[in-house]
Amino acid sequence: MKKVLALICALSLVLALAACGGKDGASEAKSEGVMTYAEYVAAALDSEVTIEAYVQAHQSWWDDKVTVYAADKDGAYFMYNMACSEDDAAKLTPGTKIKVKGYKSEWSGEVEIVDATFEFESGNYVATAKDVTSFLGKDELKDYQNQFVSFKDMTVSAVSYKNGEPGDDIYVNFTKDGQEYYFCLEYYLNGSDTNFYNQVGNLVEGQVCDVEGFLYWYEGPNPHITKVTVK
């Protein structure tokens, strides 16, 4: 009897740990009325969605709106122009947990939550970059949309400023295995990081780099880059 009890205890401990969410892979329990990532993915476009996620980054606040890159342990979300005061925007630091209510939408292939409102919750999680290099050029890449991802050994093929001069987005094309891919330094995501802006602006054709960023979509993959390591 004691052996059986011990076994049950051990099993329940394992299950409890699994339920609590391991660092890698295991799903996180959601609050009542909140969708899991799988439910969010399955939700129809234009339907109302409620999600819980952790802020990974956000673009510049403006006019009581902010655009947020967020993730949970199963996937990622992009909140476009979410209603937000300037004070609250300052609190949206990486890792901050928020509950978001809005509508699922798609704009040029980018699946996002629009007309959203949010509230702060307690919890913290910062995603590590997932290497998706092997999915470049494949349909599976879309499964990682909005996630914090990395691409290894990418060769710079072109760098251009949106305006022809510094002061706005920078478009960076990389090639991998003979195929060209379009990346972007999103000016409003980069904020005041002039060092990174200058580094990207000064990339030279032929340089081989590891790249990190958020897997944004615009008529195809168009990662918003946050880190470039020239090899």
Partner 1 sequence: MMKKVRRILSALLTVSMMFSLCACHGTKGLKEFEIPESFDTSRQYEISFWAKNDTNITQVEIYKKAISDFEALYPNIKVNMRIYTDYGKIYNDVITNISTNTTPNVCITYPDHIATYLTGSNTVIPLDELFVDEKYGLNGSEIKYDAPSFDEIVPKFINECKIGEHYYAVPYMRSTEALYINKTYIEQMGYEIPEVMTWDFVWEVSEKAMETDSDGNYKVNGQKVMIPFIYKSTDNMMITMLKQLDAGYSDNDGNIMIFNDTTKSLLFEISKHAKTGSFSTFKISSYPGNFLNAGQCLFAIDSTAGATWMGSKANHHDIAEDKVVEFETEVLPIPQFDVNDPYMMSQGPSICVFNKADSQEVLASWLFAQFMLTNDVQCAYSETEGYVPVTSKAQESAEYLDYLSKASPDDPDHYDIKIKAAKLLLDNTDHTFVTPVFNGSASLRDASGQLIESVTKSERRKETVDDAYMEKLFKDTASLYHLDQHRANTTESLDKKDLGKLPGPSVALIVTLIVVWLLLGGDYLYGFIIGRKKK
Residue number with CB closer to partner 1 (31 or 47):
47
Binder to partner 1 among 31, 108, 122, 195 (CB under 8 A)? 108
d(Cα 230, Cα 89) in Å, to the nearest integer?
A: 32
Is residue 210 close enough to count as binding partner 1 by CB under 8 A? Answer: no
Residue number with CB closer to partner 1 (62 or 120):
62
CA neighbor of 171 nearest in space, from 230, 223, 111: 223
Is residue 220 close enough to count as binding partner 1 by CB under 8 A? Answer: yes
**Minimum Å distance from CB 201 to partner 1?**
15
Residue number with CB closer to partner 1 (118 or 217):
217
Residue number with CB closer to partner 1 (103 or 144):
103
**Minimum Å distance from CB 120 to partner 1?**
25
Is residue 167 close enough to count as binding partner 1 by CB under 8 A? Answer: yes
Residue number with CB closer to partner 1 (95 or 166):
166
Phi, psi at residue 151, to the nearest 5°? -130, 130
Alpha helix ranges (H) inside 65-193: 86-91, 187-190
d(Cα 145, Cα 159) in Å, to the nearest integer?
A: 23
**Which range of residues in 45-53, 89-97, 121-129, 135-143 is near partner 1 by CB under 8 A?**
45-53
Binder to partner 1 among 105, 146, 150, 226 (CB under 8 A)? 105
**Who's near 72: CB < 8 A, 6+ residues apart?**
28, 37, 51, 52, 53, 54, 125
Give, in order, the Cα–Cα distances in Å from 38 to each of 103, 122, 127, 225.
16, 22, 18, 26
d(Cα 94, Cα 134) in Å, to the nearest integer?
A: 27
Phi, psi at residue 224, to the nearest 5°? -90, 105
What residue ranges bind partner 1 (CB under 8 A)?
A: 45-48, 62, 103, 105, 107-108, 115, 160, 162-165, 167-168, 218-220
